[in-house]
Amino acid sequence: MHARKPLPPVDSKGVARVLSEHLFQETVDRLEAIVARRGAKVFARVDFSADARASGLRLRPTFLLVFGSPKAGTPILQARPTAALDLPLKIAVWEDDRGKVWLLYNEPSYLELRHALPPELDRVLDGVGQIALEAASRSH
């Protein structure tokens, strides 16, 4: 097991950003493989750039993976139905105008505060940051 890396800084709206060391499609592939390896359920794959192309529009590569564990998420929803606005978990991958690839996700402490999660559920969401870091890193 690898030591946990420190999580990235979070903006004032609770969005964490991780710079990927990989190209866009490799980052997406790594993200999906990590989620599968951890046994999470993929609820949706949204390829925003492909959808834009199909509509005759241009958009830099942009993808969203919606995933989670009903076993982990259900207790959160039982305690705080408002969490349905933010669950399942999501990680977005996009390429900026300089060709850098980023992973974005809602930082768990932001979600915990937003939905006033009870202390016993505070740690349930913490894995999302580690998934993003692993997908972005060459060392994994």
In a domain, 39, yes or no: yes
pLDDT of residue 139: 77
The answer as to whether 5 is a domain residue is: no
Number of domains in the chain: 1
Q: What is the pLDDT of residues 31-56, one digit of tens each?
A: 999 999 999 999 999 999 999 999 99
Question: Is residue 102 included in any domain, yes or no?
Answer: yes
> How does the average pLDDT of the chain come out, rounded?
91
Q: What is the pLDDT of residues 103-120, one digit of tens each?
A: 999 999 899 999 999 988
Does residue 83 lie in a domain region?
A: yes
Q: Which segments within 10-100 are labelled E, that is strand?
A: 15-19, 41-47, 62-68, 89-95
Q: Is residue 4 part of a domain?
A: no
For residue 132, what is the domain's CATH number? 3.30.310.70
Asked whether residue 128 is assigned to any structural domain, the reply reads yes
